[in-house]
Amino acid sequence: MTSVSNNIYATLCNGKQIPLLGLGTFQSTSDDVKEVIKTAVGIGYRHIDTARAYRNETEIGGAIKELIDTGVIKRTDIFVTTKLRGTFHRPENVEHALKLSLEALQLEYVDLYLMHSPMALEYRGDDAFWPTREDGTLAHDDIHFVETWKAMEPLVTKGLTKSIGVSNFNGQQPSEILKINRIPCVMNQIENHPFLDQKELIDLCKSNDVMVTSYSPLGAPDRPTRKLGVNNIQMYE
């Protein structure tokens, strides 16, 4: 069986280490994700990626707690990433959102907290994931992601997360964060595969010491936004 010592790590721009290979849990349902996590850790995975929008943090947290309580791993062995839902982008909601995730995950801190998207959505309660208007379109909010980022930075100083970053940022959006950040933006997690190589974006991130995580390496034909009739360009540009 693979042990943690066999994992390959990269060093983020703030000096923290991150396992190069992570287990994404998008579309892992509550019915099976707990056993998936336990099996993955058993074969050597040490990086678990989730999000409030995935609606599986509670089950993932239960699996991690069981693994720690039974001595399979220590908390410091596992790298946990979760993400800020777009409905919590207003600065007064950012810390509350992370605390909801920590409660679900049964953790005192996460290793990496990402702004899931630059796109803000209206807040209509903690469990309103995809707010829509009467015509069925997404209910966007007008808060700029720079203001959201500023509210994320205190989460590091308060010890609620070790590092912060972004996800689904494209074009020059990362540059807007890099102009104002006091705490390093260590990561941009993006869709990246042979049909969407994102070379210019990746080069931009690399030139600013922002690491890139690639998700959906074989493509993403079933992302929820397609069901809403919204494509990637409309959402994130």
Q: For residue 18, count other CB atoms closer than 10 A to its CB.
A: 21
The C-alpha atoms of residue 87 and residue 140 are separated, in whole angstroms, by: 9
> Two tokens at 173?
């959006």
Report the candidate in 235, 54, 237 with the shortest Cα–Cα distance to residue 140.
235
Report the candidate in 48, 190, 182, 166 with the shortest Cα–Cα distance to residue 115.
166
Q: Identify whether 109 is a catalytic site residue.
A: no
Active-site hit among 54, 113, 123, 236: 54
The C-alpha atoms of residue 139 and residue 98 are separated, in whole angstroms, by: 22
The C-alpha atoms of residue 195 and residue 82 are separated, in whole angstroms, by: 26
Report the candidate in 115, 138, 120, 123 with the shortest Cα–Cα distance to residue 190.
115
H or E element in which residue 114 lies: strand 110-115
Q: Is 183 left (phi over 0), alpha (psi -120 to 50) or beta?
A: beta
CB 120 within 8 A of CB 142: yes
N-to-C CA span, the chain: 44
Q: Is 41 helix (H, G, I), strand (E, B) or coil?
A: helix
Catalytic residue numbers read 54
